[in-house]
Structure 1
Amino acid sequence: MGKIPAFLRSSTIPVSQIIKTPQSQSHQSSKSFPPSNFIQNRKPKSVKPLKPSLNPNSSSPPLVPITFPNLSEAKSFINSLISNPNIPLDIQFYNSIIHSFSSIATLDDAFSLFTHMLKTLPSFSPDRSTFHILITHSCISKTHDSVLTGVSRAVDYMASQGFPPDPVTVDIAVRGICLSRHEDAAAKLVTELHDKYSVTPDNYTFNFLVKHLCKNRSMSMVYGVIDELEKLVGLKPDLITYTILIDNVCNNKNLREATRLLSELNEKGFKPDCYVYNTIMKGYCSLNLGNEMIKVFKTMKEVGVEPDLYSYNTVIFGLSKSGRVKDARKYLDVMAEMGHFPDAVTYTSLMNGMCREGDALGALRLLGEMEAKRCSPNECTYNTLLHGLCKSRLLDKGKELFETMKEGGVKLESASYATFLRALCREGRVAEAYEVFDYAVESKSVTDVSAYSTLESTLKWLKKAREQGLSVC
């Protein structure tokens, strides 16, 4: 269903004033539209980097340790710290120097500066976090071989200084390499570190790797990496691993594979939780396979997994989407009996299904029921109803609902705005169409370009229809 925006306050106009004598309805289907998010991009002001003071008599440490990638200048800066009594001697300050220089210099120069600091500064005593900085920056590379070589070099250097890698080290390296989109190199590094230093990552690291592999690699490669790490390192998939795999195949609409993974999960002694079943139901819902979705829901209850609010919302949305609104409404009472009270998502799903069936007035009455139970409608609720009313040619009701939305400061979504605008123009109510246009622009519901282009195309259609003597009502 997508992410639902924050609840908006209820309308100040009672729904009973909107629901009047039913008008003729057109059984045209209403579509489901996700809420729009509007982000204002702002160009940040350019800030000139501060160059650290190399004056040993400076009264305070530099604000930015190093802002230049030149190794000789960086070494000169380190030399200036020796005679400066105001320089802090804690490890955080020295780590900030290494971090700032490593982020702008080459890996070779970062190692050179690190070695120079060891020789020059008696107070510099690196700890494990210092070497982790080098490992983090060694993960930034464009090729598989170079990133693996760089990280291995940093880990070996760390071990030579008396800090053999531990699971935290492996986690930092794996996460850094995955963020550079070299997941295959991360998997290879896990094997190398296990063979060389007998260190094994925990399941958090393993599952992070699996998640990134699912995101950027084929499933055949994901399964291959999982099998290899289980044989060579001893890392075994857990419930979280299977959840990640099931979620990925469901998103790719491969429900057969999701069912196979669910069986494999059970065979290995794991009990699927509510999230796993919800994920599979969501997958069937996206394919409009309501019967299969209900089977999963019933299986979940049979094995003793209690459905949550998301489970019921998924069932109601899936049934409503597939034209089974009556069946969907039955679950309102069921979920209430189980202590899960319907929310805005629940009611909006039902309204969407009713509008699809041409029962926009029934959806409007459901809005009254929703408010009576003190469940606040949200932006998606209002826009779903407005779109449904316009599609059913209940324009007066739509206009009253629009006034309600204005009172509550509810924004129009692009689809409901376009549908409403065209419906008004089709009925010859151009002045009211301009009012809708003004509100859409003033409330920043849609971009100015979209608002103008929709209005322009609608008016052109209206003019052409009138010129051809066509009825627009």
Structure 2
Amino acid sequence: MTTPKTLSKTLHSPVLLPSPSLDQIAKLITTHPSSLPLRPLLHSLLPPSLLSTSPSFLPSLLSRLSLSHSPSFHSLHLFLYSLITLPSLPLPDLSLSLCLTLHSLSRSHHLPSSLHLLSFLSLSRPSLLSPRVLSLLLSSPKLNFPSTLDLFARAEKIWARAGIPFGPEEFASLLRTFCVRGRVVEAHAAYKRLYSKFPFSQRLINTLLLGFKQSGDVDALDTFYHGLVVRGFEPDSVTYCIRIDAYCKNGRFEDALKLFEEMDNRENCEITIKTVTTLIHGAGIVKNPRAARKLFDDMGERGLSPDRGAYNALMGAYVKSRDMKSAMEVMAEMEMNEVGVDDVSYNMLFCGLNRTNDLEGIWNLYQKMVQTNFIPRTRTIMLLMKTFCKNGQPDLGLEVWDYLVGKGCCPHVHALDWLVTALCCRGAVQEAYRCFKDVTERGQVPSQRAFRVLESSLAKEKEMEKFNEISCIMEDLRASRCVPS
């Protein structure tokens, strides 16, 4: 029997509402109006108790915002809010969160914001500054040679203010930045200009070799390498891996195997999982799945346990040979051994099934992916959307769209192009309008193609109210695109 005392206690007890999930929080942030400040929303969604009990929650949420192509200031505000609200977050999670934030800022070409953030961290959390962070700062493809060197010098001052050494590792990050862009000549020029400031290291030479490899010029790589050997350079495991990878990517698998044997006979060079995985990739390029399988099976004799990368390389070898049955068996083997599949695994299988026109196989694999709550990356989303829409099944594309939006991840605007066009061609104009609104509500600007197709379809349907609405939305988005609140 309920007494007045117990009733009063019940009425005055706090009601414990369930905490929102990662999907719900991501969706609320991405749909938050850009005209309103974000901090009050973050304060209500992310209490310190949630961040402290789930340390990996912050990088997971930032990763989800990146997948949603959310405006970069969302990531910046979220990172700063978490840093100030709960400064005791573990360093690894904060480092990963900083990298995700810088990646978002770099993708949006917000260089001043990146510099201000690093300047703030140099005084408040200097331990977060690292060569990886420097690489992300320098990664904007719009930077020319003088601008990159100037930014490198500004970063050196930030590191000095934090009391952190700025040495060979940071110099290697600069060289790697040029190499990743395929600008090997500029990397070599930067090396000649600045090498006297930094002590020699094996990593610097390997970074330059990596640049020659990424340029695809194996002859230039060999010339540079043999010139170094004449001057007394001793190759290490990384050096051999770079040269083996260069041969593999140029279809010279037999030459790569000879290098592998030479490496195996040297005392100072350890065979690693990465070395064997590179060769498995090479076997796939020349469509030799038998050699790939042998290399994979021989890893156990060397005391190596295959990781996800090795499994993916083996799967890729079967996919390139159009042996989809064996490729699917590799995925089953990964699951049985609890290795875990990633977007690379799914993307390779989807590509292989697409080449063999196996639409049913693609749908079955997609259903399997959904059952595990896996969120694919942009390239896999685009592949699925393009495949379903080109094959006259936009209803399947719409299901993919709804699954992703329900997870708080809004697909790229190019996926919207395919879906809106296919839906409107099938007369599903209301569904196309809904998807269009999903994008605009998250602050993204749809392409002119999607806008014109939907505008024309709404006019034919005499939906003038929605016709005028999307016209006003597009004008507002174009006007405020580069002006974050």
Larger RCO, structures 1/2 (Cα 8 Å, 6+ apart)? 1
- Give 1 or 2: higher helix fraction: 2
Name the TM-score, length of structure 2 as normaliser.
0.49
Greater Cα radius of gyration, structure 1 or 2? 1
Name the TM-score, length of structure 1 as normaliser.
0.50
